[in-house]
Structure 1
């Protein structure tokens, strides 16, 4: 009988990590887990993205709304050959639970983690829930780096091998405090962030300034957040409810005057991808409940299918 410790373990190498390290223009897209026990719709949307994106982000209680576990949803996509990025927020877990989920992610072959602090509970659908925030995103990044080095949160050795996680972080180039943005970005780089996905970008001059003044010299890929606007009403809602985002009046007017606002939104998103391609290393697509339109947007933006 072959000893257990001599068995070959599968590497589950991250294809997203390989693309990032190869300097490719990266494309990711966001998919929400189901609000219930049936993942069919989520899986259907994610399958439409195969061959068009390098990885699919699975949100973790985005806007503090209860949904299926991001780890379980990421595992379901992994089983179907879809590369996941598992978002992990600190709002709902202490460091024991965070470590448990990170070890579990590694064991399931899920390598890509987006470390987030998490939206405040008051923004969601369980406003009487208790927040945890034992850690926040920078300290979570440091924790992931420790696990990758074979140490737990108390700097004790992991007896059953280290993890091999590819950790990323969120950024918001439209943050009002420029010094605060720079300080936070530098802390995340120092803590071990290997890639960055931005919030929705509406001001591309601000993105250019961020790339030229804050991210200059950084060898981590930065992906600009591109959001599919479905109507003028949708854009106005975002302006009212998403802090730090101000969609220009010119775009709202285009959507309002369009005979087909959704198609106009597709054109706007494609134009924004082309603008982002001149400034940064990739795009992170957000098309809430219309992820099936992302391939059409990418075609319009001249983004070719991804070859293995």
Structure 2
């Protein structure tokens, strides 16, 4: 596994800083997101007599390296509330591109939401675990092994791809991961909150999980296919394609997914061709005309 930062930075959902449309795969936060979070925390509150819950933000520094640098500096201060997940692991060299755990107070929530608005980099863990135990628990899931012996970085702080990632890791790893939290509150592609229930509190979870272990080639392929629509959209941004000003990330992703599904039905599997055709079709103002054109082109190439 290379420790080079460009490799560790998951570029699937990150558009460039310049271009007609900055695409990050996620819409701006819902206007009442803070209220949604408060309500979700109350739903998953501990039962009387159970251990109290702490609230922790999980932040992906790769989505905003400038903020990652600030978090890294904070984590080095005495008695800091910020902890780098990769500290003491093989991925420690990621530094500001790594994952950070922040033990929150109520006053931290609103400014943190504003700082991370519109990027897939923030979620919230509600848990009875001590911060050190939670850090160790999450660090155990930093890497997975592929069938050919390679190591895969598990960027679990991306809230919109986390569900697909967990499915790829398999039911045993999911059970182990859920033992570390009572609820994981994810900011979805639509900018709203989506909560995932854990099992911490129903039993004493291990301080350190066994981690995800092996990910099969089939599961890895399925996971990468989940990210293909975002890859096509990022390619369109890099090509300075006109995707339609004001179009939401949800709608752009829906359009790209429909076009790729059409290529699947046409049995066109070449990734380079799929990306090229997808970028061109996305620039067409009429979605039906785009699908007709794409079907025609795929028929010639398949």
TM above 0.5, yes or no, is: no
Structure of higher RCO (CA pairs closer than 8 Å, 6+ residues apart):
2
TM-score by length of 1: 0.26
TM-score by length of 2: 0.26
